[in-house]
């Protein structure tokens, strides 16, 4: 716990003035601003030296005060209150404290007092500030982006500092001094902290009501969240100004929508980026890469992307090719493109210190490298040895980096992989690296470095391919990284506990605004084995980002590496992902519109069910599929919790029930998977070799019959999967509404969009699960069942392309 004995507490409020958005108050020697963002969102700012920093980070990408908010101000001798229809912000005058409550009086944020009864609304010491807030021991905390351990953060403390986790020099300050047996003293532990990505966005769930509030500290400096005390929590940042957005909730999805309205949402990804990706750190040759592509096609293993790690470069010089290993990159890339593969290469920020190397020479000439306090070009140490680092804080450095990326992808690459961007500087400490031509200390922008690198990278990709959607993968990040890049979880290990922790880690990412995330399937470091790899693949195909990646020197970890039996299981698992592509893609479309996660913890959709608060080993994939991975070896069954509603076993088609625990079998050829009653799950009829050019004539609709009356909405978006035309209407967006009233089931489809040239669908095949109707009325005309599978479910052919329809079944 951070020692705060010498901090100076702000205790009294002076003059308070009403403003157009709230309040401006004198608090000790500084000014406090309370600005309403919405009727249930408030921003609180404290000045330093009497001056406000209006842009503390690059996280917020809109004017947060653009929308009008109606409010009143009420005063008495003890406090000034800002009142909206949804919440009340109370500024207490003497002693100073700040509380936020909902209109019904339930707490959102309440200042905590210490043992002597002194309130800690704000205290400071040498540019560090701290806050203390009330909670209950039974409360839960979620969010904070990429963190290890349990998804419920209560009871632990976290550091907000982007860190190269497997680097001994980068992690020593966090592992040193730990008690024997403390897992945080081991950088490979799943409880180690911190990781690569910093998102200071925290949910607070109040017990027993289940209501949610949230806080986003818009500060890029090193931070500490102390969630271990029973009756309070503490937040401390070692620099910068206090700027906090407080979200009243009370529902988690609405809070996330508001947070991502401020920090941005993931753009619609190219369809191929949702396919299977094969990657390995290995000294490949051009012929070897092409052979890997052929092996996937010959073995009928679906795959959309092949990746190249650092050894494709000339001496690890970024934006170069090793011409001995790769004599004809454009020719190789074209041949792979013709086979339906996209190729992505790694790009690190470290530029080799090498006079005569054009990228280095340009960086010096344009003065776009980071400097030290004395004005020298900062030197770090990564793969090529001594390296300079672009000063991405400056627009000119981001523009230059974008130009380099644009030239790189014009050879035929489909996307860019940003690695080592914490920034990792090897054995040379990073603190001497300054930003803004040396004006700003390293601490201000360390956590934002990857965000700014991705910003420059995307700028270049848009310049090179203006009509296409971009794809960037980033190891590190900050709040807002979802606007520019996907994230993977960095250098994990081939261990069962690393498989399991990736579930909770993905949940933390998802509810912190980043929906496009995944872990290296099979584990990056250490040797995998047949069982671990199989179980990880079965899970990985049901995550947003699906990439098999491993380290040089490991055992082979290709889909075929563990024999024919495992290869068959892997092919089947990947086949399921590809057949589910319409469902997965539609989940991403939804995420781009609302900010909601694709891989989501059960608490996101069922927050008022107290059972799900601490569930870490299962999740929802989209709104309607529940996944329960196998996370232990030699498992033949596992326990699964099914929340409220009807749930169907995906493999058997049987109705299982809901709001209870079940024991699910886990044979080696599958993991537990369930579909929600009332859902319409769209699927392709087959698994293509890749998504390239695949526009099917038939889409299956799997309707899972609900047992009780009610309504359920599902979605399908069809477009070209590549260009930026879809958001402008070049698509078909279909909303399926299932309504049951007694024995009658009505399926209604509403269609929006202007269509697109590649559209080929002429029919739906409607699979009805949970009933065996022999007749269906489509637009008032009867249709007979086309087929009756062994399980008794009905299959109807609906000869509709892109028009609305209503189908009625008697069940």
Q: Using a CB cutoff of 8 Å and minimum separation of 24, what contacts does 437-440 make?
A: 437/367, 437/371, 437/391, 437/394, 438/371, 438/372, 438/373, 438/375, 440/393
Distance (Å, whole) CA 235 – CA 473: 30
Q: Tell me the β-bridge partners of 124.
A: 8, 129
Q: Per the residue annotation, which of 309, 322, 419, 719 is the catalytic one? A: 419
Q: For residue 400, give Cα distances in angstroms to 46, 363, 456.
A: 35, 8, 8
Distance (Å, whole) CA 97 – CA 328: 66
Q: Tell me the β-bridge partners of 781.
A: 778
Distance (Å, whole) CA 405 – CA 408: 5
Q: Using a CB cutoff of 8 Å and minimum separation of 24, what contacts does 580-583 make?
A: 580/681, 580/683, 581/271, 581/274, 581/275, 581/684, 581/691, 582/682, 582/683, 582/684, 582/699, 582/716, 582/718, 583/622, 583/624, 583/625, 583/681, 583/682, 583/683, 583/716
Query: Could you please report the per-residue DSSP string of 232-254?
Result: EEEEEESSS--EEEEE--SSHHH
Distance (Å, whole) CA 808 – CA 811: 10
Contact between 448 and 244 under an 8 Å Cβ cutoff? The reply is no
- Least Cα distance to 673 among 566, 541, 568 occurs for 541
Query: Could you please report the per-residue DSSP string of 176-229?
Result: TTPPTT-GGGSTTSTT----SEE--EEEEEPTTT--EEEEEE---S-EEEE--S
CA 482 to chain centre: 7
Residue at token pair 């698994």: 687
CA pseudo-torsion sign 637, 643, 648, 651: negative
Orientation angle between helical segments 530-540 and 496-510, nearest 10 degrees: 10
The three-state (H, E, C) secondary structure of 375-433, written as one string? CCECCEEECCEEEECECCCCHHHHHHHHHHHHHHHCCCCCEEEECCCCCCCCCCCCCCC
- Residues contacting 336, CB < 8 A, separation 6+: 289, 290, 293, 306, 342, 343
Residue at token pair 């261990």: 495
Residue at token pair 């950088």: 187
- Least Cα distance to 544 among 482, 631, 467 occurs for 482
Phi, psi of 264, deg, nearest 5: 95, 160
Classified as helix, coil or strand, 255 is helix
Distance (Å, whole) CA 63 – CA 734: 32
Token output for 781? 């005309």
CA 152 to chain centre: 17
Active site residue 520: no
CA 309 to chain centre: 23
Contact between 540 and 506 under an 8 Å Cβ cutoff? The reply is no
The DSSP bridge pattern shows strands 546-548 and 276-278 to be parallel
Residue 459 region by backbone torsions, left for phi larger than 0, else alpha for psi between -120 and 50, else beta: alpha
Contact between 76 and 62 under an 8 Å Cβ cutoff? The reply is no
Q: For residue 807, give Cα distances in angstroms to 617, 684, 714, 800.
A: 38, 21, 15, 11
Active site residue 491: yes
Token output for 665? 């079998």
Q: Per the residue annotation, which of 322, 348, 491, 720 is the catalytic one? A: 491
User: Which residues are designated catalytic?
Assistant: 419, 491
């Amino acid at each position: 716990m951070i020692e705060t004995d010498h901090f100076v507490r702000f205790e009294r409020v002076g003059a308070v003035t009403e403003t157009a958005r709230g309040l401006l108050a004198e608090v000790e020697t500084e000014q406090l601003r309370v600005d309403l963002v919405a009727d249930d969102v408030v921003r609180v700012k404290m000045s330093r030296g009497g001056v406000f920093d209006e842009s503390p980070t690059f996280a917020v990408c809109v004017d947060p005060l653009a929308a009008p908010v109606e409010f009143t101000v009420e005063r008495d001798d003890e406090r000034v209150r800002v009142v909206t229809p949804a919440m009340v912000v109370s500024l207490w005058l003497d002693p100073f404290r700040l509380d936020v409550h909902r209109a019904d009086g339930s707490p959102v944020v309440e200042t905590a007092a210490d043992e002597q009864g002194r309130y800690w609304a704000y205290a400071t010491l040498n540019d560090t500030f701290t806050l203390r807030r009330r909670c209950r021991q039974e409360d839960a905390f979620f969010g904070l982006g990429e963190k290890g351990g349990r998804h419920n953060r209560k009871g632990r403390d976290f550091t907000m500092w982007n860190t190269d986790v497997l680097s001994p020099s980068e992690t020593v300050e966090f592992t040193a001094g730990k008690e024997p047996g403390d897992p945080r003293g081991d950088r490979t532990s799943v409880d180690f902290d911190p990781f690569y990505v910093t998102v200071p966005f925290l949910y607070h769930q109040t017990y027993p009501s289940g209501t949610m509030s949230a806080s986003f500290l818009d500060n890029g400096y090193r931070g500490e969240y102390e969630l271990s005390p029973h009756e309070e929590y503490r937040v401390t940042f070692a620099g910068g100004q206090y700027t906090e957005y407080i979200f009243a909730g009370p529902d988690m999805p609405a809070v996330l929508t508001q947070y991502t309205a401020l920090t941005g949402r993931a753009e619609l990804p190219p369809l191929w980026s949702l396919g299977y990706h094969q990657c390995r750190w290995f000294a490949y040759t051009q012929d070897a890469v092409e052979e890997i592509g052929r092996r996937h096609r010959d073995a009928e293993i679906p795959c959309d992307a092949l990746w190249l790690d650092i050894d494709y470069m000339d001496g690890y010089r970024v934006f170069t090719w090793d011409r001995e290993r790769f004599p004809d990159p454009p020719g190789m890339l074209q041949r792979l493109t013709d086979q339906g593969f996209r190729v992505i290469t790694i790009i690190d920020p470290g530029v080799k210190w090498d006079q005569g190397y054009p990228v280095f020479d340009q960086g010096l000439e344009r003065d776009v490298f980071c400097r030290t306090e004395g004005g020298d070009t900062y030197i770090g140490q990564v793969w090529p040895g001594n390296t300079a680092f672009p000063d991405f804080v400056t627009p000119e450095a981001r523009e230059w980096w974008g130009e380099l990326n644009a030239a790189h992808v014009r050879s035929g690459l489909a996307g860019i992989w940003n690695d080592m961007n914490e920034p990792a500087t090897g054995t040379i400490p990073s603190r001497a690296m300054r930003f803004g031509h040396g004006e700003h200390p390293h601490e201000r922008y360390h956590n934002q470095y990857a965000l700014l690198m991705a910003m420059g990278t995307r700028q270049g990709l848009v310049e090179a391919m203006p009509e296409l959607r971009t794809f960037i993968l980033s190891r590190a990040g900050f709040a807002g990284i979802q606007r520019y890049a996907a994230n993977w979880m960095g250098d994990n290990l081939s261990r069962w506990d690393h498989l399991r922790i990736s579930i909770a880690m993905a949940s933390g990412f998802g509810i912190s605004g980043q929906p496009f995330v995944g872990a290296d399937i099979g584990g990056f470091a250490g040797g995998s084995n047949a069982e671990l790899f199989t179980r990880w693949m079965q899970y990985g195909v049901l995550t947003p980002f699906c990439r098999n990646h491993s380290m040089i020197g490991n055992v082979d970890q290709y889909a075929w590496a563990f024999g024919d039996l495992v290869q068959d299981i892997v092919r089947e698992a990947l086949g399921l992902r590809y057949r589910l592509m319409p469902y997965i893609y539609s989940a991403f479309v939804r995420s781009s519109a609302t900010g909601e996660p694709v891989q989501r913890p059960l608490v996101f959709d069922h927050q008022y069910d107290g059972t799900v608060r601490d569930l870490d080993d299962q999740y929802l994939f989209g709104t309607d599929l529940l996944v329960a991975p196998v996370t232990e070896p030699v498992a033949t069954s596992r326990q699964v919790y099914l929340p409220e509603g009807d749930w169907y076993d995906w493999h058997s088609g049987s109705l299982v029930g809901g709001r209870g625990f079940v024991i699910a079998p886990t044979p080696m050829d599958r993991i537990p998977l369930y579909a929600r009653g009332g859902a319409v799950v769209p699927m392709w009829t087959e698994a293509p070799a890749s998504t390239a050019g695949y526009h099917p004539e038939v889409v299956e609709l799997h309707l899972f019959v609900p047992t009780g009356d009610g309504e359920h909405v599902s979605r399908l978006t069809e477009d070209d999967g590549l260009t930026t035309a879809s958001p402008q209407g070049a698509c078909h967006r279909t909303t399926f509404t299932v309504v049951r009233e007694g024995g009658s089931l009505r399926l209604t489809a509403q269609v929006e969009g202007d269509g697109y040239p590649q559209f080929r669908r002429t029919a739906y095949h409607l699979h009805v699960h949970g009933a065996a109707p022999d007749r269906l009325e489509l637009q008032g005309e009867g249709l007979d069942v086309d087929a009756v599978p062994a399980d008794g479910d009905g299959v109807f052919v609906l000869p509709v392309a892109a028009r609305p329809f209503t189908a009625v079944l008697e069940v």
